[in-house]
Amino acid sequence: MTVVESETARQPSQGLGRRVTFPRVVRAEWIRFRSLRSTWITLAVTVVFVIGLGALFTAARAAHWPPRDPGELVTFDPTRTSLGGTFLAQLAVGVLGVLVVTGEYATGMIRATFTAVPRRLSVLSARSLVFAVVTVLVLVPSCVLAFVLGQHFLSPKHIQTDFSAPGVTRAVIGAGLYLVAVGLLGVALGWLLRHTAGAIAVLVSLLLIIPILVHFLPDPWPDRISKWLPGEAGQALWAVRPDPNTLAPWAGFGVLMAYVAAGLIAAAFLLHRRDV
Amino acid sequence: MRLIELVGLTKRYGAKVAVDDLTVTIRPGVVTGFLGPNGAGKSTTMRLVLGLDRPTSGTARVNGREYVGLGAPLREVGALLEARSLHAGRTARNHLRVLAATHGIGPSRVDELLEFVGLTEVANKRVGAFSLGMGQRLGVAAALLGDPSVLLLDEPANGLDPEGMRWIRHLLSRLAAEGRTVFVSSHVMSEMQQIAEHLVVIGRGRLIADCPVDEFVARGTGFKVRVRSPRLAQLVALLVDAGAVVEEERDAAEVSGLTAEEIGELAAGEQIVLHELAPVGASLEEAFMQLTSDAVEYHGMDRP
C-alpha cells in the first residue's frame, strides 16, 4: 500500500474546522438523521398509516352509510374518522424516536458521537430539535392530506366537514403535533433506557396498556386518571367534539408535552451523570 | 503541549477496580505502547481520557485540559476505540461526515481521508458489510479528521492482515515523527515491539512499567524468542555469550534476555542460517500473572 507515502494526514488547516458550536452539532444531527435508510422507511410507514388508514376508514364508512345503529348518526365524527390512522401511526413514530437514540447505543456509534461532542446535552438538544422539525414538516401535512382525502371519500354521502367548521383545523393540525410529541416521548425513553426493546415496551405500555389497566379500577377512578395519561391527554387536541371526560384540547396537549419535557430533563440529567 | 497526563487515575465499577491509581505522562514524538493482558484496564483508561467514563478519583488531561473542556476535541485528540464505534446502516462517507460536521470540517477533508486509508471505492457502501480490517481503516480516518496532535488507538492491529499491520505501523511511526503524541494499546508483546518505542505496562489496573521497550525486554520479564537453525548448537553458544538465557529443545531453543532483532543480527554476524525467529507472545501473559499476583498480595495486606 503506497498511500502511506502521501502527506494526507497533515494538511494546512484549510477545511479542518474550528470549534464545536451548537449550529454545527445541529447540522451533524441532520446529516446523522438523513443518512440512515431505516429512518426514512420508518417515517414513510408512519405517513402510510396516517393517510392510508384514514382513507380506508372514511371510504368504508361512506360505503356503509347510513349505519345500522341509529346512535352512530349522532356520534359520527368525520374529522376523527379521517384521522383514525393516527392511532397506529403513533407507534411507528414513537419507535422512530426510540431508534434515533438506541440505534447508537446498540452499534457503539454513541462513543464516536460523544468523543466528537463531549458536551452531551448539546447532542440531546440538537437531536430532539432535528427530530421535531423533520416530523412536524412531514406529519402535519400528512394529517392535512389524510383529512382532505377522507372528506373526499365521505362527500358522496354528504357527511363530510371542512376546515371552516369549529375545531376542525385545530384537530387536523393537532393530530400531526400529537404524533410529533409521541415521537419525542420515544426519543426521551431512548435516552433514558438506552435499549431498543425496553424503550419500545415502556412506550407501548404508556400509550396502550396502562389506559386499559386503568379501566379495571372501580369508579370514579378510571375517569379521574385516564385524562391525565400521556396518550389520552394528547388526543384531546384532535377531538372535535368536546368530551366531558377529557381535558381541554390545548391543556391536554400541554400535559403530553409536560411528560415529554420531564422525560428529556430526566434523560439530560442521567446523560450528564452516567458513563457512556 | 502535546501530551496525555494521568494523575492518580482510578476507576471502580462497584467493588471491581478497573484502573488503580495510575500516574503516567505520555509524551510526543515517539509511539508509546500501552501494554497489558486482556482485562488489565487499557480500554477503561482510554475511555477515561476521552471523557466517556468518569474517573472515581484522579484526573486525565490532554494537552493540559480535561477532555470534556476541549472546545474542538477532534482537532486535539484522535481516537480509535477497540469496540466498534459506528452505525452499521450508514455509509463510510456519511459516518465521517457526521463527525466532521460537528467541527465544521468540510466534505473535501472527508474524501481526502477516505483516499488516504484506501476506502474511496467503498465510501458509499454501508459499513455493516465491512470487514474488521476495513472498519479499523475507517476508524483511523475518523481519528485523523481534525489533524489532531494527540492520537489514542485501542488495539488498532485487531483484524488487520499483515499488510494492514505494516500500514498501521508505518502510519503511527510517521505520525509520531511529525511530533504528535501517539498512544497505542495492545495485549500482544510482539506487536508492541514492532510498533512502539516506549511502553506503559499495566496489569489489573496498576502501573507495572513506564520505560523504553528495550529496557522492558531486557528486564527479563519472561519475554522469549523462539529460534530454529540447522546450526543450533553454535547459535546457542553465541547467544549465551551475549548474555541470554537459553532453553534448548530438540531442534529449537527459547531465548530470553535478547530481542528478536538482536538475535537476528548476532546470527547474521556469524552467517548462521535461521529457520525460525519468533517472539513467543504467551510468555508475556505469564510475566503478567507473576507481576500482578504480587500486586494483589500487597493489596490484601494493605486492607484492615
Separation of alpha carbons A78 and A61, rounded Å: 9
φ, ψ for residue A122, nearest 5 deg: -75, -30
Tell me: pLDDT of A196 over 90. Answer: yes
pLDDT > 90: percent of chain B: 56
pLDDT band at B290 (very low <50, low <70, confident <90, very high): low
Q: Do B167 and A119 touch (CB under 8 A)?
A: no
pTM: 0.85
Residues A118, B100: C-beta atoms closer than 8 Å: no
- What average pLDDT score do residues A118-127 get? 97
Sheet holding B224-228, edge to edge: B245-248, B252-256, B224-228, B276-280
* Option in A104, A115, A118 nearest B87 (CB): A104
pLDDT band at B284 (very low <50, low <70, confident <90, very high): low
Q: A40-54, B140-154, B228-242 — which is least confidently predicted?
A: B228-242
pLDDT, greater one: B111 or B256: B111
**Interchain CB distance below 8 Å, A15 and B106:** yes
Q: Which of A109, A194, A196, A271 to mutate to test the interface with B (most CBs of B within 10 A)?
A: A109
Query: What is residue B286's predicted lDDT score, i.e. its pLDDT?
Result: 56
Closest chain B residue to the Cα of A118, Cα to Cα:
B68
Cell of A234: 394528547
Give B34→chain A minimum CA distance, Å. Answer: 20
Which one of B85, B94, B167 has the shortest CB-CB distance to A108?
A: B85
Q: List the single best residue of A8, A16, A18, A19 to mutate versus B (max B Cβ within 10 A).
A: A16
Collect all residues of chain A within an 8 Å Cβ-Cβ radius of residue B110.
none
Q: Is A8 helix (H, G, I), strand (E, B) or coil?
A: coil
pLDDT in tens, B1-31: 689 999 999 999 988 999 999 999 999 999 9
Would the pLDDT of B282 be above 50?
A: no
pLDDT of residue B288: 54
Confidence of residue A29 (pLDDT cuts 50, 70, 90): very high
> Do B41 and B19 touch, CB atoms closer than 8 A?
yes
Interval A73-99 mean pLDDT: 95
How many other C-beta atoms are found inside a 10 Å radius of the C-beta of residue A234? 29
Confidence band (pLDDT; 50, 70, 90) for B67? Answer: very high
Neighbour-count burial for A130-139, b at 16+ CB within 10 Å, e otherwise? bbbebbbebb
The pLDDT assigned to A17 comes to: 66
Q: Is the pLDDT of residue B300 over 50?
A: no
pLDDT tens profile B169-223: 999 999 999 999 999 998 877 778 788 999 999 988 989 889 888 777 666 555 6
Query: Residue A117 has what pLDDT?
Result: 97
Which of A9, A19, A104 is opposite residue B72, by nearest beta carbon? A19
Three-state secondary structure readout of chain B: CCCEEEEEEEEEECCEEEEEEEEEEECCCCEEEEECCCCCCHHHHHHHHCCCCCCCEEEEEECCEEHHHCCCHHHHEEEECCCCCCCCCCEHHHHHHHHHHCCCCCHHHHHHHHHHCCCHHHCCCEHHHCCHHHHHHHHHHHHHCCCCCEEEEECCCCCCCHHHHHHHHHHHHHHHHCCCEEEEEECCHHHHHHHCCEEEEEECCEEEEEEEHHHHHHCCCCCEEEEECCCHHHHHHHHHHCCCEEEECCCEEEEECCCHHHHHHHHHHCCCCCCEEEEECHHHHHHHHHHHHHHHHHHHHHCC
Task: Kindly tell me if the per-residue pLDDT of B54 is higher than 90.
Answer: yes
Q: What three-state secondary structure class fits A34?
A: helix
Which chain B residues are Cβ-neighbours of A31 within 8 angstroms? 94, 97-98, 101
CB contacts, 8 Å: A125 with chain B = none
What part of B 162-221 touches A (C-beta under 8 Å)?
163, 166-167, 170-171, 174-175, 178
Q: How many residues does chain B have?
A: 304
ipTM: 0.89
- Asked whether the predicted pLDDT for residue B255 surpasses 90, the reply is no
Chain B hits for A9, Cβ within 8 Å: 116, 144, 147, 171, 174-175, 178
Burial class (CB in 10 A: 0-12, 13-18, 19+), A93: buried
Q: Which residues of A touch B166 (CB under 8 A)?
A: 1
The overall average pLDDT reported for chain A is 92
Q: Show residues of chain B in contact with A40, CB under 8 Å.
A: none
| DSSP code for A108 | S
* Span A149-188, pLDDT tens digits: 999 999 999 999 999 999 999 999 999 999 999 999 999 9
Contacts of B47 (CB under 8 A, 6+ apart): A111, A275, A276, B53, B81
Per-residue pLDDT at B219: 64
Is B81 an interface residue toward A (CB < 8 Å)?
yes
Q: Distance (Å) from the C-alpha of residue A94 to the closest C-alpha of chain B?
A: 20
Residues of B with Cβ-Cβ distance to A110 under 8 angstroms: 85
pLDDT of B285 reads: 52
* For residue B302, pLDDT beyond 70: no
Task: Give residue A206's identity as a one-letter amino acid code.
Answer: L
pLDDT of residue A265: 98
Cβ-based contacts of A104 with chain B (< 8 Å): 87
CA distance B55 to B47: 10
* pLDDT band (50, 70, 90) for residue B141: very high
Mean pLDDT of A217-242: 92
Number of A/B CB contacts below 8 angstroms equals 149
Q: Please judge whether A38 and B89 are an interchain contact, meaning their C-beta atoms are less than 8 angstroms apart.
A: yes
Q: CB-based burial of residue A11 (10 Å sphere; 0-12 exposed, 13-18 middle, 19+ buried)?
A: middle
What confidence tier does B304 reach under pLDDT thresholds 50, 70, 90? very low
The listed range with the strongest mean pLDDT (A5-19, B112-126, B230-244) is B112-126
The half-sphere exposure of B16 on its side-chain side, counting CA atoms within 13 A, is: 7
Question: What integer best gives the mean pLDDT of chain B?
Answer: 87
Band (A243; pLDDT cuts 50, 70, 90): confident
Q: What distance in Å separates the CA atoms of residue A97 and residue A95, rounded to the nearest whole number?
A: 5
